[in-house]
Structure 1
């Protein structure tokens, strides 16, 4: 009794609009979850929280990574995941710098003249704007040298 007849034109227009809306919503859903930034941040935090000089590695399954003093971003196929460090600030390290050498095992006293130089280089690295870089893994190293405690991430 209260049903609309099937021949009613507005019923077909409404059905077409509802179908188009459903297809549009389905097309905008992400195809894959964002990269696991929380796992990488947990590895950084475990090294940063250590009471001793420690080194850690974390493999990344993302195309690009951006590291800041308090946060990490990972990007893969247009999806971006991010996580905040619980034990920040950390020092993001760029390639071909003295900090990069320290990150990969060079003692800080060989890479820098004084602890003040080391501390200044770490502060300058933390002040830079984070940039996207391609990475296969994160290397994390906690270094202490005559009162200068730094967590290097690169």
Structure 2
């Protein structure tokens, strides 16, 4: 009557394993939602689709950003979020010619930063083909559509 049944030991062991698994899963559930990559993509698309020069700012709630010419990704405490850009390609204003492109993004006319339209177009092409990588995210993402003669671009950066 006071003996332990062999089956009950296995049941308790199985319950302990399942309980530990559920506890581990509960610890992995993020406490915050992922960043809103779709909202950022809509802001970029609204500027990129404009027939005229335009500028927009979008606040970011992410730790890192990965900006490509056709996609963007945001990484935050709640996980990663990605979105495609409908009106690409856009030009990340970072790295290489990034300082000059960042000046144009901030509002300086391209003809005051670049010696010619051809050099401006080459800087845009170099930035477009660069492989995207995760970078620290700014507090606000700036998007600007720029036109210089027949050279059109949508610059995105901080």
Would you say same fold, with TM above 0.5? yes
Say which of 117, 128, 147 aligns to 2:119: 117
Structure 2: how far apart are the matches of 1:79 and 1:66? 14
The within-5 A match list for 1:2-151 is: 8-77=8-77, 79-94=79-94, 97-131=99-133, 132-151=135-154
Structure 1: how far apart are the matches of 2:9 and 2:106? 71
The TM-score, its normalising length taken from structure 1, stands at 0.88
The Cα offsets for residues 55-87 of structure 1, whole Å up to 9 and x where unpaired, read as 010011112222111111112237221111111
Aligned partner of residue 124 in structure 1, secondary structure = helix
The Cα offsets for residues 64-114 of structure 1, whole Å up to 9 and x where unpaired, read as 222111111112237221111111110000276211111111111111122
Aligned partner of residue 22 in structure 1, secondary structure = helix
1:116 Cα shift?
1.1
Query: Does structure 1 conserve the Cα–Cα contact (< 8 Å) formed by 2:55 and 2:143?
Result: yes
Runs of 4+ in 1 over 4 A off after TM superposition: none
Out of 144-153 and 8-17, give the one that drifted further.
Answer: 8-17
**Aligned alpha-carbon RMSD (Å):** 2.0
Structure 2: how far apart are the matches of 1:130 and 1:38? 18
Query: Does structure 1 conserve the Cα–Cα contact (< 8 Å) formed by 2:62 and 2:74?
Result: yes
The TM-score, its normalising length taken from structure 2, stands at 0.86
Aligned length: 150
Structure 1: how far apart are the matches of 2:115 and 2:147? 15
